[in-house]
Amino acid sequence: TKGRGRLGRNWFSPKYKGIYLSLIIRPKILPSQASILTLLSAVSVCEAIKELTSLEPQIKWPNDILINNKKLGGILTELNAEMDEVKFMVIGIGLNVNNDKKNLVAGATSLKEQMQEHVNRVNFLQEILRRIEKNYLSFKQRGAKPIVEKWRQQNITLGKRIKVYSHKEHIEGMGVDIDTDGGLLLRKDSGLIQKVMAGDVVACR
């Protein structure tokens, strides 16, 4: 009941309503590659939703799961690492499943609201874990490229003018691509391509 999001923000997590879980993994990667596991997890959640429903989920970089431009869930990855070694990573996933519309914050949605029916959380959790395992094994065997390609197909960030708020600065430009370590490539008005590894993305009007 005490879900946590990026930068210590609260994640509304009432009992018996959503899926809230943490997975511990020990990938043999450099700390600079850790962001790819956020993309992998988001892709896996979207694949599970598409497998079990007729909905079309989308991903907003770096960690939001959307349906019809409303936030359905989020991914939070944290790591324990040294300069050249990841000791372990925690993948946190929060997903609004049977949350009632009246209890959701503005701009949020749930599977129940979108489908107009109660959803079996156990079935969804099982499918999410299956997808994560499959994609994680693929990542270990084939590297980041297949995961990045899947992410590109699901995303709503690339090809749009956006602002990325990071710490005390913001960067504005066109989202042009995603790097193989999960970084967002942004083309600024000067033409310069800047790589961003973390931040909040807002679409420009």
| Average pLDDT value for residue range 126-132 | 98
- Verify cis geometry, omega within 30 degrees of 0, for the bond prior to 146: no
Q: Are 30 and 37 a contacting pair, CB within 8 Å?
A: no
Range in 3-17, 63-77, 102-116 with the lowest mean pLDDT: 3-17
The answer for 192, left when phi > 0, alpha when psi is -120 to 50, beta otherwise, is: beta
The pTM assigned to this predicted structure is 0.91
Q: Are 97 and 123 in contact (CB under 8 A)?
A: no
Q: Is the pLDDT of residue 8 over 80?
A: no
Residue type, 93: I
